[in-house]
Amino acid sequence: MIRFLRKMYLLLVFGLLSLSVNECYSARILCIFQMPAVSHQATFQPIARALSLRGHEVITVTPRPINDPTLTNLTEIDTSHTYDIINGHGFEFFMSKEKAVQTKIPKIFAMYYDLAHAIFQNEQFKKIYTNPDEKFDLIIVQIYVSPIMLALSAKFNAPIIGVSSMGGWIGTHYAIGNPSLPSMYSEMFLPYNGELSFYERFKSTLYFIWSRLYVNFVAMPKCDKVARKYLGNDLPYLADIERNISALFLNINPILYTPRPMVPTVVPLVFMHIQPPKPLPQDIKNEIESAKNGLVYFSLGSNVKSMNIPQRVRNLLMDVFRGLPYKVLWKFEKEELPGKPSNVVIKKWLPQQDILAHPNVKVFISQGGLQSSEEAIDRVVPMVVIPFIADQELNAKNLHEFGVGRHIDYLNTTKQELIDSIIDVAENPKYRENMKKLRTLLRDEPMTGLERAIWWSEYIIRNKGTRHLRSPTVDIVWYKYFLLDVISAFIVLITFIVLVYIKLFNFVKNTLKKKNKIKTK
């Protein structure tokens, strides 16, 4: 009897415990994943899906809906018409390595203003943000460079999480209070890595100052204006809303992104979009297995696209592929590729994760986007990386340094360098071994990236934000942060002391001189 009672008591206690853990049961969550880029959305989709499967009511505004009718708690508002906006803003420009980063950032912001207008003008979404009775327990928005959508946090008086499919750019780190010293930590859009040379530190410092000024005086007022146009004029200033962000989910792994100090509300995600391998479609399987000397898989990802790269580079690549002993499977976005070598097979769409899982794939030639790199790491396929935009050059350098691939500069590379690199990576076993080591390191974690994202989302719902974790670096004024007031005080003090000493010295010297004169007289 006593035993039974004890059992019941334990059951009750455990029941209550699990109830308190699930206190945020069935919260209402709004997600805005604005960027029309397949690789970005691949990071966000699992978060929306997992939250809905935990019984939360999730509404997602996305250009790439999951469209899975079994996800009954997930409502998706389709903004796929925004793909035209990104195309209209000239992807070739972003891709060019010759263009300075200061000319690219304003273009990315300009694209974001247009994206925001298009999303706010969506009729379904309009019904949500114009409804005075609408309530949310949590808002999750993509944060790439522009903070416009963070204004929804003030509109609905709900805690907000910023999520990025890559690292954070300098303005985002600044808003959440991460130290961003230009002497050590490379900016996402700058390709510097490890110990910076004097020239690199000089450039990175200039960029640091420029980006602060640009955000403060140009971009933030514009973003604020866009948000006010749709959400009403009684919002607080957008920069203040941004500093209220509850957490930042960054898709950073400590290999591709140099480790750096971060406040506790930055949650690192890894391998978000990786799925267990699925069986390949028969035609693709045949192509891979009929490659006698092995297969080279070539894709520049969903944003760069082989279509967009300079003609010169495309011709060079065809020349290189013709000289290889391997079959090449190329993700190419058109039906026809004039002058295609006979050992090259083109397909418009390919199941990349599943292809990389096939043991006959020897090398992955990639642009070095984060999602592609993670797929290569997870499937242990060494890489030849030809970076074009954003964080790709930084990733390429890190992959090269880790010995899991080689980094090619498309501006100066030659046919011979490319052929040598591809054959080296295919035949030298060290690349694959390093890849295996890297995978083991990255997989050795107490919980997966997705589990971390869900835990933090529910933590923020339970505790109504993370005000208690706010770093003082968020609120400190810049001249105090850099100790400019203290340094000025030192300079004044030292100058004063030196002046007093000089005066004193002169005084003593003059008195001695006078005395001497009197004596000699």
Ligand X SMILES: *[C@@H]1O[C@H](CO)[C@@H](O)[C@H](O)[C@H]1NC(C)=O
Of 101-109, 143-151, 312-320, 410-418, which part binds ligand X (CB under 6 A)? Answer: 410-418
Strands 295-299, 361-366: pairing kind: parallel
**Measured from the CB atom, is 113 or 237 closer to ligand X?**
237
* 293 interacts with ligand X by CB under 6 A: no
Provide the token pair at 449. 């990236």
Amino acid symbol at 379: R
* 26 interacts with ligand X by CB under 6 A: yes
* 75 interacts with ligand X by CB under 6 A: no
Terminal CA-to-CA distance of the chain, rounded, Å?
120
Q: Judge contact between 422 and 324, C-beta under 8 A.
A: yes
* 236 interacts with ligand X by CB under 6 A: yes
Contacts of 428 (CB under 8 A, 6+ apart): none
Of 52-60, 209-217, 226-234, 318-326, which part binds ligand X (CB under 6 A)? Answer: 52-60
Among 467, 509, 514, 515, binds ligand X (CB under 6 A): 467
Q: Which of 52, 73, 125, 42 is nearest to 457 (CA)?
A: 52
* 415 interacts with ligand X by CB under 6 A: no
* 22 interacts with ligand X by CB under 6 A: no
**Measured from the CB atom, is 194 or 339 closer to ligand X?**
194
**Measured from the CB atom, is 73 or 216 closer to ligand X?**
73
Among 417, 424, 433, 445, binds ligand X (CB under 6 A): 417
3-state DSSP of 308-377: CCCHHHHHHHHHHHHCCCCEEEEECCCCCCCCCCCCEEEECCCCHHHHHCCCCEEEEEECCCHHHHHHHH
Tell me which residue has tokens 């004193």: 504
| 44 DSSP assignment | H
Provide the token pair at 440. 């083991």
CA distance 201 to 178: 19
Strands 74-78, 383-385: pairing kind: unpaired
Q: What is the DSSP string of 162-192?
A: EEESS---HHHHHHHT----TTTSPPTTS--
Q: How far is the CB of 451 from ligand X (least distance, A)?
A: 17
Contacts of 354 (CB under 8 A, 6+ apart): 277, 278, 279, 280
Q: How far is the CB of 430 from ligand X (least distance, A)?
A: 20
**Measured from the CB atom, is 73 or 96 closer to ligand X?**
73
* 197 interacts with ligand X by CB under 6 A: no
Q: How far is the CB of 52 from ligand X (least distance, A)?
A: 6
* 96 interacts with ligand X by CB under 6 A: no
Contacts of 358 (CB under 8 A, 6+ apart): 280, 285, 288, 289, 295
Q: How far is the CB of 4 from ligand X (least distance, A)?
A: 31
* 232 interacts with ligand X by CB under 6 A: no
* 283 interacts with ligand X by CB under 6 A: no
Q: Judge contact between 215 and 109, C-beta under 8 A.
A: no
**Measured from the CB atom, is 36 or 465 closer to ligand X?**
465
Q: How far is the CB of 361 from ligand X (least distance, A)?
A: 26
**What angle do the packed helices 220-231 and 101-120 form, to 10 degrees?**
0
* 412 interacts with ligand X by CB under 6 A: yes
Torsion (CA) 456, 19, 154, 37 in degrees, nearest 10: 40
Which residues in the 146-165 window bind ligand X by CB under 6 A?
154
Among 178, 244, 353, 372, binds ligand X (CB under 6 A): 244
> Which whole-number Å values give the CA distances from 218 to 110, 146, 154, 418, 456, in the listed order?
11, 12, 22, 42, 33
Q: How far is the CB of 21 from ligand X (least distance, A)?
A: 16
Among 68, 84, 289, 409, binds ligand X (CB under 6 A): 409
> Which whole-number Å values give the CA distances from 47 to 135, 163, 165, 453, 455, in the listed order?
20, 10, 12, 7, 11
Of 51-59, 184-192, 202-210, 338-346, which part binds ligand X (CB under 6 A)? Answer: 51-59
* 3-state secondary structure (DSSP) of residue 193: coil
Of 102-110, 353-361, 406-414, 469-477, which part binds ligand X (CB under 6 A)? Answer: 406-414
CA distance 309 to 330: 14
Identify any residues that bridge with 141 across adjacent strands, giving them in sequence order: 32, 162
* 175 interacts with ligand X by CB under 6 A: no
**Measured from the CB atom, is 68 or 92 closer to ligand X?**
68
Q: How far is the CB of 397 from ligand X (least distance, A)?
A: 10
Among 22, 87, 275, 414, binds ligand X (CB under 6 A): 414
Among 15, 55, 261, 281, binds ligand X (CB under 6 A): 55
* 73 interacts with ligand X by CB under 6 A: yes
**Measured from the CB atom, is 333 or 417 closer to ligand X?**
417
* 463 interacts with ligand X by CB under 6 A: no
Among 37, 160, 241, 383, binds ligand X (CB under 6 A): 241
* 465 interacts with ligand X by CB under 6 A: yes
* 434 interacts with ligand X by CB under 6 A: no
Interface residues with ligand X (CB under 6 A)?
Answer: 26, 52-53, 55, 72-73, 154, 236, 240-241, 244, 409, 412-414, 417, 465, 467
